Structure 1
Amino acid sequence: MAIWFHRIFLLLLVSSCASSDFLENPDFESPPLNLSSNASSGAFVLLDQNTTLPGWTFQGTVQYVTSPDLPDSGHAVQLGEDGKINQTFIAKGDDLNYILTFALIPGGENCSSSSGLSVSGPDSNSVFSYKQNYSKVPWQSYSHNLGKWGNGEPINLVLESQAIDSDTNSTCWPIVDTLLIKTVGVTLDQDSANLLTNGGFESGPGFLPNSTEGVLIDAVPSLIQSALTQWSVIGTVRYIDSEHFHVPEGKAAIEILADTTPSGIQTATRDTSEGSRYNLTFTLGDANDACIGHFVVGVEAGSAAQNFTLESNGTGSGEKFGLVFVADKAAAQISFTSYSVTMTKEDVLCGPVIDEVIVHPLSGTASLKPTWLLLVLALLYVAVL
């Protein structure tokens, strides 16, 4: 019964997070209008005041890119110095978070630095930059939570380049492609068997249709602003799907990517009582992405802290672990942190997979054992008589 209920809950959770088409020309496959005849044949076409990019307005240095190496094997835009594009779309439905996923590509070769990409909504902003060793393909998928909006409200999405190095002549300006907006319910269906919300990580950013690399989620200290519902992020993690990776349960899980500093995720329980004992269980494994190594994951729950280890052969393993803790407050903190820097043979960062995180009162579980023990003893006593 418990397994059946848990799977029905996952189905409800996934259905509440359906993706919708909000943006016009999100993959830039509709070409700019009013281009000169000789300009359209180039791989990079500079847009000017006489050019119209369907669905988008732009300022500064913006180039239309044509290349077979892009995620959709077609077109994208490069935001050069002071380059900016924006589009306003209308929210549909109430109590929904709008989560953006997009492809980011470095825009040059032999550059001294890569510029950042600023992504913002009306009250949210984050800066992203292409990171070496996070993907085996020449682009990366990132996510950003645009926030909660009510039905009919306008949301202005703005993407602009942000120089990191003062020498702009040797900067790789970002290329952006394939934007996807996914709506996620602010209030998710709660699993009564689990005191954590989204413990199975089924609610998170959308996966781009032509990407096999998952979605990177950079550090987000706030649960409200995170693209991973009800979890904050330390460092960088990868949101992975069951279609391209080994996921222990459901459709999605988290792979923690520790680089020069530890990375991880953190959340808080609901409805816990200070001083009461609880049991935390989770699955620790690998994503079947050739990640071979010795994983060390530090787990903190309430007043307890413990390291867990797993020897990974990179072929999709998984093992359940548990930790008993005492709630030190009404909402006990739960965190998973990886200290192991692990890379594949292709020099791509990888790491431990976390899934099926469940917290339940220990008293409820423990009370069953004496009851069954007394029943067995009673039956034995009757049999002897």
Structure 2
Amino acid sequence: MLAMAAGSALLLLVLCTASGMALAITDGLLPNGNFERGPAPSQLRGTQVLGAAAIPSWQTSGFVEYIPSGKKQGDMVLVVPEGSYAVRLGNEASIRQRLAGTTRGARYALTFSAARTCAQAERLNVSASGQSAVLPMQTMYSSNGWDSYAWAWVADADADVVDVVIHNPGVADDPACGPLIDSVAIRTLNPPRRTNKNLVKNGDFEEGPYIIPGTRWGVLIPSMVVDDHSPLPGWMVESLKAVKYIDSDHFAVPRGRRAVELLAGRESAIAQVIRTVPGRQYALSFTVGDASNGCRGSLMVEAYAGRESTKVAYESAGRGGAAKRAVLPFRAASVRTRVVFFSSFYSTRSEDMSSLCGPVLDDVAVVSVRARRPAVVKRG
């Protein structure tokens, strides 16, 4: 009986393979997404990768280097954030991986870690399913030299496979000069919906990009991200600087497992457009706290809902103190109302005085407030 069952399972596997059936994409690191499996010694010239398929599970083009942790570049030590190896992309170099099992029309978020090694104006072009974005790396938000970035796309309706590409469009004087890449991961995004209890989609920020376990610097939601391709469903980053997506495993989160840290003063804003009824009264509520990451001092969140605004001050000891709940009443002026949040001040972590930080935003809600009818006075 066991032999028959094993034979049936093997036959099913063979039939699925022969028919081209693909398993659904699994949240987490891509195959060899941390680059711990590297080229054979014969496929390396120093650190330069020789051959497009030398790195298992990846295709490379241009000048790509396989960098071990502790490798020196002049007087600078190249630090690998996870494991022992990463790749460096030179001028016009790229890495590519083909993913099977994408669901047509589904949204996916790519997470990867990157670090500058040379130029101040390094940037990366990320693409999939004919969609792309250029992610600037001028601002480094963490003191260890690494940041994790997220980017999202919608799977092509005509294909169940997709090529994910990370490309360095740089033209540095040194052709080998370029960003380090490590820990490439993916997550399927579930589109949030409005409810009769909250007009804000994903107000608790529980739906968002994959956060790589063990990374203590969160994930940046890049600047100028619009709703259709936001790795933080429902939300837009309309500012010049990124906001940081954080988790309760490594930070203090006011409620649930995820929240957003507003990093760069007025240059780091998050927004959402909600449906409203003109003339109706609403209440915007939200929670402010600190991430327990050494961001000490006077923090302040500014909130806007249509024509109304408020400022919420928060004194932070940098250790994840009690969060503060705030409410902003407003009357809708149109069928669409923009809700916006940003930090009033620039702040840096007290541990290094260089890493940008700010107040934590969580548990955002908008509800309709029905006016109480005046009591009827009976006259005798």
Q: 1:120 aligns with which of 106, 121, 127?
A: 127
What 5-or-longer segments of structure 2 have no aligned partner? 1-24, 71-78
Going from structure 1 to structure 2, the CA distance change for 1:192 and 1:303 (only over 3 Å counts) comes to same
Match of 1:241 in 2: 247
Letter matched to residue 63 of structure 1: E
User: Are 2:68 and 1:66 aligned?
Assistant: yes
Measured in 1, the distance between the counterparts of 2:52 and 2:189 equals 38
Q: Deviations over 1:110-137 (max 9, x none)?
A: x453521211112322223445551132
Contact 1:92 1:151 in 2 (8 A): no
User: Are 2:308 and 1:298 aligned?
Assistant: no
Offset of residue 291 of structure 1: 0.7
Measured in 2, the distance between the counterparts of 1:50 and 1:95 equals 30
What TM-score do the two structures reach when normalised by structure 1? 0.81
Measured in 1, the distance between the counterparts of 2:176 and 2:222 equals 22
Measured in 2, the distance between the counterparts of 1:123 and 1:295 equals 41
Measured in 2, the distance between the counterparts of 1:205 and 1:19 equals 13
Match of 1:155 in 2: 162
User: Are 2:321 and 1:311 aligned?
Assistant: no
Going from structure 1 to structure 2, the CA distance change for 1:104 and 1:128 (only over 3 Å counts) comes to same
Contact 2:299 2:343 in 1 (8 A): yes
Going from structure 1 to structure 2, the CA distance change for 1:148 and 1:279 (only over 3 Å counts) comes to farther
Match of 1:342 in 2: 347
Contact 1:256 1:352 in 2 (8 A): yes
Contact 1:114 1:172 in 2 (8 A): no
Going from structure 1 to structure 2, the CA distance change for 1:19 and 1:51 (only over 3 Å counts) comes to closer
What 5-or-longer segments of structure 1 have no aligned partner? 1-17, 375-385
Contact 2:63 2:176 in 1 (8 A): no
Letter matched to residue 100 of structure 2: I
Q: 1:252 aligns with which of 244, 254, 258?
A: 258
Give the superposed CA RMSD. Answer: 2.7
Contact 2:104 2:160 in 1 (8 A): no
- How does 1:216-227 map onto structure 2 within 5 Å? 216-227=220-231
User: Are 2:60 and 1:52 aligned?
Assistant: no
Match of 1:6 in 2: none
- How does 1:1-385 map onto structure 2 within 5 Å? 20=27, 23-33=30-40, 35-36=41-42, 39=44, 45-49=47-51, 52-67=54-69, 69-107=79-117, 111-131=118-138, 133-149=140-156, 153-163=160-170, 167-169=172-174, 172-186=177-191, 188-233=192-237, 234=239, 235-258=241-264, 262-270=267-275, 272-317=276-321, 318-345=323-350, 346=352, 347-363=354-370, 366-367=371-372
Offset of residue 201 of structure 1: 0.5
Letter matched to residue 335 of structure 2: A
Contact 2:102 2:155 in 1 (8 A): no
Measured in 2, the distance between the counterparts of 1:54 and 1:244 equals 31
Contact 1:86 1:158 in 2 (8 A): yes
Contact 2:28 2:210 in 1 (8 A): no
Offset of residue 50 of structure 1: 7.5
Measured in 2, the distance between the counterparts of 1:199 and 1:300 equals 15
Q: Secondary structure at the match of 2:229?
A: coil
Contact 1:57 1:85 in 2 (8 A): yes
Going from structure 1 to structure 2, the CA distance change for 1:150 and 1:20 (only over 3 Å counts) comes to farther
